[in-house]
Structure 1
Amino acid sequence: MNVAVTQPPVTRTLAEFAVGLRYEDLPVETIEFAKQCILDSLACGIYGSTMPWSHSVARVVQSLGQAQTASVWGMRQKGDPLGVVFVNGTSAQGFELDDCHDQSMSHYGAGVVPPVVAAAEGLGSFNGRDMILATVVGYELGTRIGNTVSPSAFHRGFHPCGLTSTFASAATTGKILGLDADQFVSALGLAGSQAAGLMASQFGAMAKRFHSGKAAQNGIIAAMCAREGLTGVRDVLEAPYGGFCSTYSEKYDLSWATNGLGSEFEMLKNGFKRYSSLASSHTSVDAMQALREKHGITADDVEKVVIATTKMVHVHCGWPYVPKETITAQMNLPYTAAVTLLEGNAFIDQYVDEKLRDPKILDLANRIEVVIDPELDAGGPHEMRAVRATVKLKDGRVLEESVTYRSGHWRNPIPPEALKEKFRDLAGRVLKAEAVKTIEDIVSSLDQQESPGARLGVALQDLRD
């Protein structure tokens, strides 16, 4: 066991930071980044609402006959905040389009934004500054807690979205509800007791989408129960036996949770997605696109592809592709690299049902090998997705392309206008044009909005005919 412990207790340190943080303490860049996180998560959730797994969860919520106080995104359905965040969190992670904090290997938008929006509509009267501040707190605690156990928890088979997004949701909800320090400590403790998610779902199960929905829901439960006096494990992060870190991770470092706390915002290292696949495949997509553009090659020219990368990427997505469900293709590097070589992209249209068993894609995927490169594997936590792709062509030429930081990584960011275009594209497939514009206008001026919850709720359900 390799454990670094900080004093005073990490759990309370994080709780006191969260309770004490004021909107006036936020740098301008952090405020603007929070708006980007909210808009991108809404885009992903609105589009994800069209997926069958989102409808499965929505039918469950509808069958329970909940109070109609908050809105399900992209559907004409309401429910209580617990119900709608279950659906909206599932939708937001519903087509592998959502943001990703690379070091902690988790997608916090699906755990943070649904509770923020549901609270603003159904848990009280909150202004846009309240929503931004709660978003920052959720991302900040989620990413920092995620860093403490990454990548060890992942290698043990736990899905980070189900684990650390639960803390992020609890922190978000706790902040917007105004918990005091003792209540916030309990909220984190109750969140840790509900953290769950198994990585085996990536090989073929809708369950992976559901993990973020449950994390969002469980975080609200944790914060609201803490407000009513239910106590959680008070040293949930640092407890040497039965604590979150000691249980889920063979190797962890608690200093990641508090280093620079209050002076550096870890959420600024969150990244966004250009492609509709797991983030660990995005460096390979970038490499395949570069090879196509630089050399004019097509899939018909290729004899074999070898993608050298880290152990994490190899474990996460480097396994041989065997068609099962949509998630199987989205979480698989040989499929994603193959479809990129064939079609030049790995976005929504590359993961439709009719392509999952396409003989041409399967043939090329079978000629793509993913191997661990010790030199790349020795890189730091921000380089854990680095690749070096070698393509051997049928004419005997050998081409190579290396990518360290994926498109959307904080060191290779997507421009703000491109994120807005992503929002318009995804939201516009589901909502009326006027609704898309309304949502974008509200979020872009969120710091000036006095009571945006109800207006957002209406726009998020203004569906195209």
Structure 2
Amino acid sequence: MNIDVASTQSLKQSEMGQGATRAVAEFAVNLTYEDLPPEVISDAKRCILDSLGCGVFGAQTPWTQSVRRVVESLGQSQKSSAWGQKVKADPLGIAFINGTSAQGFELDDCHDQSMSHYGAGVVPALLACAEAFGPFSGKDLILATVVGFELGTRIGNTVSPHAFHRGFHPCGLTSTFASAATVGKMLNLDVEQFVSALGLAGSQAAGLMASQFGAMAKRFHSGKASQNGIIAALCAREGLTGVRDVLEAPYGGFCSTYADKYDLSWATNKLGEEFEIRKNGFKQYSSLASSQTTVDALRAIRADHGIRGEDVESVLVRTTNMVYVHCGWPYEPKETITAQMNLPYTGAVTLLEGTAFIDQYTDDKLRDPKIIDLANRFKVVVDPELDAGGPHEMRAVRVTVTMKSGQEYHQEQTYRSGHWRNPISDADLSAKFKNLAGRVLKEDAVESINAMVQGLETAAEPAPELGHMLQDVKA
């Protein structure tokens, strides 16, 4: 994509800490479908498909049903479709429901550097608004998805990992920008309106990391982000102004408020030349991304040496400070989220059962004495060498498994399976979608959704049909 003179000047200003907000807004407004490289189009479709699978599966979880009951109690107009359940509501309510379900079982995508999961913020807003405010073509949806991921990830990069270390949940913060950017692109906002949409998104960014230790609250952060982004874009279209320098404002701006240290250059560096959606990854396990390098390492040891979890004496995980803080704490059974966000539990169940997917986080296992006993024999420590790695290596681990016989096994894992530097194939991602969606939807609907998303760029108006198929639940 070629950026015009005004945009180039904004980029130069942003390098000095000025104009980053306007620079990304100008980029978003000027980007066209024809600017998108084929691999970026493919990545957008992968992000949409994965989010739909995660959202359909998460529809019947208690936390999603709590949100659904709230939305239905408000008596909203029925313009958009909830996924995996026969519920309709207005776009705000549906984005709230679907965003909650898409991030509802720790299966959703992950952009590692910004430490956030943008599919659950972007795709629910995208399809809710496409149904309600259409018609929108498949190309329109792809373009809006790319814009949302690009601005969300870049804004997330500016404050990562410092906002996380202050205790803020990145999904609640930066997915709000991603949703606003997605909807702003769909609504054809001009530059001034887009700047305000980002400013209004920043005023709504929220989410507390303490929810990871035992609360359903983490589940709805992406739902609120998706909903709040729609509010930001719609209000900007109607003339409500937001903080116009929301990213770079030295007092009360997004970066200066949420992070002790931040780097605005991440927002604009090679903007329009390199797309951050190319660095988005996908999960193969039902746990937070920070524990998944350990899962890969333990599965490799299990496969290579034929060990049994019952014969393990102890496990030492050397890793980065980010992983240590995020999930290295001692396991104490509380709620499902507690186990999914905890490395010792996730590692223990992997050693005992061979993986850490949906069936490893059922209620009966959260307090299983065998799992708890092994989890208590995990030790997670910071390895200074690993901690000195770059932003893409922030989840690297060196794992040592000591058997009751005294035998030791070692495994290093720098990039989790599904990371953009250790990617999963289109076939595997499609299989994941069919596995998740197939637990809720009829087989014909699963196949049709998969086919439609795979060929999304050829669809004239896919959202209403997708909305119908996403509600074709099993009896």
TM exceeding 0.5 = yes
SS at match of 1:253: coil
**Aligned-residue offset at 1:100:** 0.2
**Residue in structure 1 matched with residue 471 of structure 2 by the alignment:** 461
Matching of residue 243 in structure 1 with residue 233 in structure 2: no
SS at match of 2:313: strand
Identity of aligned residues (%): 72
Partners in 2 of 1:147 and 1:233 — Cα distance? 20
The correspondence for 2:210, drawn from 182, 200, 204, is 200
Q: What are the superposed Cα offsets for residues 67-125 of structure 1, whole Å, 9 maximum, x if unpaired?
A: 00000111111000000000000000000000000000000000000111111111121
Partner letter of residue 379 of structure 1? G
Matching of residue 222 in structure 1 with residue 232 in structure 2: yes
Structure 2 unaligned spans of 5+: 1-13
Aligned 1:236-275 pairs, distance under 5 A: 236-275=246-285
Matching of residue 36 in structure 1 with residue 46 in structure 2: yes
Partners in 1 of 2:409 and 2:78 — Cα distance? 58
**Aligned-residue offset at 1:8:** 5.0
Partner letter of residue 262 of structure 2? Y
SS at match of 1:431: coil
SS at match of 1:261: coil
**Aligned-residue offset at 1:6:** 3.4
SS at match of 1:104: coil
**Residue in structure 1 matched with residue 6 of structure 2 by the alignment:** none
Partners in 2 of 1:120 and 1:234 — Cα distance? 27
Cα pair 2:22 2:195 within 8 Å, conserved: yes
Partner letter of residue 284 of structure 2? R
Partner letter of residue 91 of structure 2? P
Cα pair 2:28 2:147 within 8 Å, conserved: yes
Normalising by structure 2, report the TM-score. 0.97
Partner letter of residue 404 of structure 2? K
Aligned 1:312-391 pairs, distance under 5 A: 312-391=322-401
Q: What are the superposed Cα offsets for residues 280-302 of structure 1, whole Å, 9 maximum, x if unpaired?
A: 00000001100000111111221
SS at match of 1:308: strand
Matching of residue 287 in structure 1 with residue 297 in structure 2: yes
The correspondence for 2:112, drawn from 102, 109, 113, is 102
**Residue in structure 2 matched with residue 187 of structure 1 by the alignment:** 197
Cα pair 1:44 1:91 within 8 Å, conserved: yes
**Aligned-residue offset at 1:193:** 0.2
When structure 1 is superposed on structure 2, of 122-131 and 326-335 the one drifting more is 122-131
**Aligned-residue offset at 1:7:** 5.6
Partners in 1 of 2:220 and 2:385 — Cα distance? 36
Partners in 1 of 2:62 and 2:249 — Cα distance? 40
Partners in 1 of 2:86 and 2:241 — Cα distance? 37
SS at match of 2:373: helix
**Residue in structure 1 matched with residue 155 of structure 2 by the alignment:** 145
Cα pair 1:81 1:123 within 8 Å, conserved: no
When structure 1 is superposed on structure 2, of 295-304 and 222-231 the one drifting more is 295-304
Normalising by structure 1, report the TM-score. 0.99
Cα pair 2:18 2:248 within 8 Å, conserved: no
**Aligned-residue offset at 1:5:** 5.1
Aligned 1:163-178 pairs, distance under 5 A: 163-178=173-188
Cα pair 1:5 1:253 within 8 Å, conserved: no
SS at match of 2:136: coil
Partners in 2 of 1:219 and 1:190 — Cα distance? 8
Partners in 2 of 1:7 and 1:206 — Cα distance? 37
**Aligned-residue offset at 1:399:** 1.1
Partners in 2 of 1:74 and 1:261 — Cα distance? 36
Cα pair 1:276 1:346 within 8 Å, conserved: yes
The correspondence for 1:402, drawn from 391, 396, 412, is 412
The correspondence for 2:220, drawn from 206, 210, 223, is 210
- Equivalenced residue count is 462
**Aligned-residue offset at 1:36:** 0.4
Runs ≥4 in structure 1, deviation > 6 angstroms?
none
